Every structure is written in C-alpha cells, then in structure tokens.
A and B are shown apart, each in its own frame.
Chain A
Amino acid sequence: MTPLAQYAVLFGMAVATVGFVAMLYLIARSFGKPLPEPGKDVPFTAGTLSRAPAWVRYHARYYGFALLFLAFDMEMAYMYPWAVVYRQFGLIALLDMGVFLAILFLGLLYGWSKGALRRQ
C-alpha cells in the first residue's frame, strides 16, 4: 500500500471509531432523555451544592519541567531519523548524536541546579 492509502485506512479507522461511539450514544438516547431535576446537573462536590466556577487560571506547578520537555521534544524529533540510519553510519553517528545529547544533558543538569526540576 502506498503511504497515502495507509493514512486513508487510519483515517477510516478513526471515523469508524467515532461512528461506533455515536452508535453507542444513539442506543443510550433511544432509551429516553434524562429527566431534568433540580440539582442534578450540579457537579458533585461531596454533598454541597457548590456553583463556584472552576474555569479559572489554573496554577500548574510543573512549568519548569514543561520548559525542559520542550527542549527534549525537539531533540527527539531529530533522534527518530538518526536511529534509523545509525547502523549505516556507525561510530560517526554515535559521536554526532552523543555531542547533541551531551549538550542537552548539560542543559538538564543546569536546570536541575537552578531549581527548575521541582514543584514550583
């Protein structure tokens, strides 16, 4: 199969899955709609009817990790093709990528020493 056909098959699988989900929803809907009652649609908060909004600026504490993740993610984009041709190039490939990885690893150590790798 050509790659285009393969991706078409994958897309078809995704669509079929969504169709399957829709079918399940239709089956559930065929039994009737939920009966509207007061208080039923308020999210569960341990017995209190709390309508306080939760859509606020969430203070994620792991942004130090997330920044380093970006750097390493870019690196991994280069590692995929490198891994495929590694055997072909031998020692040179090891050294080239070794330098790249070493620089990134030094970056990781630097971030670690500056306190990026902890709960902020």
Chain B
Amino acid sequence: MTTLAYLLLVTLGGYGLAVVEEWSSSGRWRPSAPLLRSVALLARESLSPRLLDRKLFEAAPPLLLVAGVLSMAVLPLAPGVVPVELATGALWLNAALVYVAVALLMAGWGPDAAYPMVAGFRFLGQFVAYAMLVVMPITAVAMRASSLVVGDIITSQATLWNALLQPLGFAVFLLAAMAICYLPPFDQPVAPGELAGGVVGEYTGARLVVMRLARLVLVLSLALAVTVFYLGGWLGPLLPAPAWSVLKTLAVAGAMLAVGRYLPRLRTDWPLEWGWKVGIPLALLNIFWVGVVLLVADL
C-alpha cells in the first residue's frame, strides 16, 4: 500500500515537473504536452546509427533510468513511506548516482559519432568535478544524525534544518545535484547549441523517450534528496507529512530548472576548476564546522 502511494506521488510529482520543464523551455503552460510528446515519440521510428556498439547504445537508456529509480528508492516521502529503508541509505544514493556517468559515457561512445563522443567525455569530466561534492555534504549530514538511514537524517533536523545549520554544505550539494542531472548551466552532455544534442542526439523514438524520462526521474530524485538532507523532508507544521515532502521537492526542482535559463553554459573546465579549488575546501570546511558544532552544541 505504501509503495503504491509512493509510486503515485512520485508519478504525479514527476509529471508536474515535466510541465514545469516544458514551461521553462518554451515559456508557456501546456499541461498535456509531456504526455502527448512522449506518446508521439513512441510512434516515431527508433533509428540506430550505422556503426554502433550495440550493447552500449542499447544499455545506456535503461541504465540511466535504473540509476534514477534506484537512487530514489531510499528517499522517504513520509515516515515509513519508502520502498526500502536501507541502513546505508545515504551511501546507496551516491552509489546509484554513479551509474549516471556510466550511462552517459556509454551513450556517448555507442553511436560512433563525433558530437556524442565529445559530449560523453565532457560529462565524465563533470563527474570528476561533482563526485566529491556530493559525498562530502552527505557525510556532514550523516554526522549530525549519527546514521546513514535517511529517515534518521530527516528526524535529526527536527530542531533546525540542515540548510540553516550547514549552509556551505547545502549550497555545495545543491550545485552538485544540478550537475548530476545535467541541468543548465551544467548541461554539457546534451548541449543543443554546442553539440547539436550531444549524447541524446543520436537517440530517436522509444529510446529517446526513455532518455528523457530518465532525466526527469533524476531531477526528481535529486530534488527529493536535497529536500530530505537539507530541508527537513516531511517535517513541518499543519500539513500532513507527504504534502510537505512534495511541496518542498517541487519547489527545489522548480528552482533547479528555472536557474538555467538565466545563465550561460559553463565552460568545460569551470566545474572542474571551481569544484576542486573552491568546492572541496568549502566542503571540508563544512565537515569541520559541523564537527565543531556537534561537539559544542549537540544540536
């Protein structure tokens, strides 16, 4: 029952997010557009490039979707409403998200084409940039909760949200989350301007539906992760717990989607340079800060 409720909420939230994404790219509200576009895509031909690494080309879309789904599987919407309450939930999230990089690299290599190739390897560079910046803030959050169980992390924020206690970690994790789901301005792998579609450029028909759906699931999952780790998850007065989760998640996801329209795409070396020269020291400082606070104040 709870898994069904979870699935329903996630599907509704995901569809709402698709409508928001449609608005951010075209500027108008079309509630039926995502469904119609997906259906239309299924009706189109699914082409395969001439010379391709069949296994990599075919495996990339399902792998991307599986990575997104599995990463969401440990994130609760309400106490007990979660597919699996893993003892190492926070670690599992990171482990599942690694496969995003693998899938995009496979998608880039598969078609034996120049644009996807460059795009795939660029995403690998982005991965090297954001990978540590995902793990370190999660560590700091787990320190406060003394546990990797995601439910415990949420309940540990009952007194004060982590976004206020660990603002550095919040900022770093939010940016890293945008980089993982390759939202603009981090959209190197699917750059429509620079690389004519990038890794998704050679996918058509059903495979393109899966790639786009996978990206949507990733955005949703990461927005939920930000909510759960930093914004108190289901905690909040008056409204029932799932409502708070959904509201916060959609707000975070909307913010993540909206930012990209107003910024130019980052140069390839900027995430790497800034991530390692600024991001890592800040994340380490964040861990140190949380350590000191926990010793002194026991929040």
Contacts and interface: CB of A to CB of B under 8 A. Distances in A.
Interface in A3-29: 3, 6, 9-10, 13-14, 17-18, 20-21, 24-25, 27-29
Interface in B76-125: 83-88, 91, 109, 111-117, 121, 124-125
Contact of B115 (A44, A85, A119): A44
Interface residues of B, number: 71
Nearest to A22: B62
Contacts of B142: 80, 83-84
A28 B112 CA distance: 24
A41 B48 contact: yes
B276 A65 contact: yes
Interface string B25-49: 0000000000000000011011111
Nearest to A26: B206
B160 interface: no
B143 interface: yes
Contacts, number: 182
A64 to B, nearest CB: 9
Contacts of B269: 61-62, 118-119
Given A40-B47, A119-B269, A14 B66 contact: yes
B113 A76 contact: no
Closest 4 CB pairs of A and B: A43-B113, A28-B206, A34-B45, A41-B50
Contacts of A13: 69-70, 73, 83
A51 B62 CA distance: 28
B205 to A, nearest CB: 6
B206 A43 contact: no
Among B66, B88, B196: residue with most chain A CB under 10 A? B66
A118 B273 contact: yes
Contacts of B73: 10, 13
A79 B140 CA distance: 9
B85 A6 contact: yes
A14 B62 CA distance: 9
Given A28-B46, A43-B111, A6 B205 contact: no
B10 interface: no
A87 interface: yes
A16 to B, nearest CB: 8
Contact of B128 (A46, A65, A90): A65
Contact of B272 (A10, A62, A87): A62
A66 B128 contact: yes
Given A68-B276, A82-B139, 18 more contacts: A1-B84, A6-B86, A9-B84, A27-B206, A28-B46, A28-B206, A29-B46, A29-B206, A45-B115, A50-B114, A52-B114, A54-B117, A62-B124, A62-B125, A94-B292, A101-B288, A105-B281, A108-B281
A46 B196 CA distance: 8
